[in-house]
């Protein structure tokens, strides 16, 4: 088996497959986030000896996914269809799809080699995808040709678009307590809110426009601070993740709380502090967030508050006070 980089090689086998039962088709939400795997199998030989040539990782990285039906052969897919060698955090199979076990890409001596790519789309259509690679002699070999005719047909379908009707917001009377600062005896009350989906379970959330904690680290991720009249209410929203503790409040008025007690839910918190009202101020941030389900479908919403600024609400536009 040849391995020296100076040795020339040529392709003797090139094939494109999916990981579904038929190895030829797959379906994905056209949301730009859901990925499905496309596997390229390749075998190379030394043209002089016809012995198997093991391609290096640097060679395999040169494999491209192409538009099988483009009038210019070996045109790399682009635009509304894209691909990456990096797998993301979303599910790769729809509930109705049956996936085969992902192939082992490790190489036994003389076996064909494989390169897995992850494909996404934002377009609702059927797309036939092939593969290409350039040999050391400059020849581009591809699967939209008679020699290695092979393709994977991917179907992009309508993504789910989340509205308020698809959300469930549950308030939980979580904890309460008291503590002393040098000048005050404080009481605090914690309500956690859990935002879940009525469609597919949520997987992650991206947060925008909140207090970054630069002036006070205990206000990080807060979206509303209302302290004109006692009590003082502070609202937070949190990155999704495992259960953890956070210190919240302001200045000396702080306490440790538990968040993210539920899987597949976005956690928000209303903290009420009573006993004194030293700030007499109110401000709020946009509190915008985009939440994604397990397939990468998403919706964008805003933090909001009731008339008393004591309970949290989910809005479809910025809170106006």
Q: What is the pLDDT of residue 86?
A: 98
CB-based contacts of 37, cutoff 8 Å, min separation 6: 18, 19, 92, 102, 116, 117, 118, 119
pLDDT exceeds 80 at position 60: yes
261/258 Cα distance (integer angstroms): 7
Give the model's pLDDT for residue 105: 53
- pLDDT tens for each residue of 223-276: 999 997 778 999 999 999 999 999 999 988 899 999 999 999 999 999 999 987
- pLDDT per residue as tens digits for the range 152-162: 999 999 999 99
**Residue 182: per-residue pLDDT:** 73
Confidence (pLDDT) at 164: 97
Helices (H), the chain: 57-60
Instruction: Name the 3-class secondary structure at 156.
Output: strand
The per-residue pLDDT for 3 is 44
Tell me the average pLDDT across 169-175.
98
pLDDT for 193-216, tens place per residue? 999 999 999 999 999 999 999 999
Pairing mode, strands 152-157 and 126-134: antiparallel
pLDDT tier for residue 82 given thresholds of 50, 70 and 90:
very high
Task: Please classify residue 182 by burial: count the beta carbons closer than 10 Å to its beta carbon, then call 0-12 exposed, 13-18 middle and 19+ buried.
Answer: exposed
Closest C-alpha to 190, from 229, 144, 236: 236
Q: How far apart are CA 3 and CA 107, in angstroms?
A: 14
Q: State how far the Cα of 45 lies from the Cα of 41, in Å rounded to an integer.
A: 14
- pLDDT grade for 1, boundaries at 50, 70 and 90: very low
* Strands 81-84 and 126-134, bridge-based pairing: unpaired
End-to-end Cα separation, the chain, in angstroms: 72
Instruction: Reduce the DSSP state of residue 188 to 3 states and report it.
Output: strand
Give residue 252's pLDDT: 83
Mean pLDDT of the region 79-86:
98
For the chain, helix, strand, coil in percent to 5 are 5, 50, 50
Quote the pLDDT of residue 110.
63
What pLDDT score was predicted for residue 44?
97
pLDDT at 278: 67
Q: How confident is the model at residue 279 (pLDDT cuts 50, 70, 90)?
A: confident
* pLDDT (0 to 100) of residue 183: 75
Fold of 10-157: Immunoglobulin-like (2.60.40)
Q: Are the beta carbons of 114 and 14 closer than 8 angstroms?
A: no
Residue 139 in 3-state DSSP? coil
Helix (H, G, I), strand (E, B) or coil at 155: strand
Scored b (16 or more CB within 10 A) or e, 207-235 reads beebbeeeeeebbbbbbbbbbeeebbbbb
Instruction: Return the beta strands (E) in 165-311 as ranges.
Output: 167-180, 185-197, 202-208, 222-226, 232-237, 244-250, 253-259, 266-274, 282-284, 288-293, 298-305
Domain boundaries in the chain?
10-157, 164-315
Average pLDDT, the chain: 93
Place 111 in a pLDDT band, splitting at 50, 70 and 90.
Answer: confident
Q: Could you tell me the pLDDT band of residue 4, with boundaries at 50, 70 and 90?
A: very low
């Amino acid at each position: 088996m040849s391995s020296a980089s100076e040795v020339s090689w040529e392709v003797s086998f090139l094939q494109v497959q999916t990981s579904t039962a038929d190895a030829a088709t797959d379906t994905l939400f056209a949301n730009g986030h859901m990925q499905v795997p496309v596997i390229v199998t390749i075998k190379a030989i030394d043209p002089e000896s016809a012995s198997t040539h093991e391609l290096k990782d640097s060679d395999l990285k040169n494999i491209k996914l192409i538009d099988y039906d483009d009038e210019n052969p070996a045109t790399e897919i682009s635009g509304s269809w894209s691909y990456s060698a990096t797998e993301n955090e979303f599910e790769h199979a729809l509930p109705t799809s049956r996936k085969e076990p992902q192939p082992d890409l490790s190489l036994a001596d003389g076996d064909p080699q494989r390169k897995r790519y992850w494909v996404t789309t934002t377009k609702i259509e059927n797309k036939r995808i092939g593969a290409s690679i350039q040999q050391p002699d400059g020849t581009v070999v591809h699967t939209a040709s008679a020699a290695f005719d092979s393709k994977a047909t991917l179907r992009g379908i309508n993504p789910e678009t989340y509205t308020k009707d698809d959300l469930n917001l549950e308030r939980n009377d979580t904890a309460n307590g008291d503590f002393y600062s040098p000048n005050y005896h404080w009481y605090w009350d914690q309500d956690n809110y859990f935002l879940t989906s009525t469609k597919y379970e949520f997987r992650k959330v991206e947060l925008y426009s909140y207090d970054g904690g630069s002036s006070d680290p205990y206000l990080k991720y807060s979206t509303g601070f209302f302290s004109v009249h006692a009590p003082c209410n502070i609202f937070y929203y949190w990155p999704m993740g495992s259960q953890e503790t956070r210190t919240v409040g302001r200045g000396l008025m702080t306490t440790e709380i538990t968040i993210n007690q539920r899987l597949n839910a976005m956690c928000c918190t209303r903290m009420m502090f009573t006993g004194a009202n030293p700030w007499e101020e109110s401000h709020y941030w946009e509190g915008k967030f985009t939440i994604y389900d397990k397939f990468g479908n998403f919706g964008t919403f805003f933090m909001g508050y009731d008339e008393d600024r004591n309970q949290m609400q989910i809005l479809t536009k910025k809170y106006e006070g």
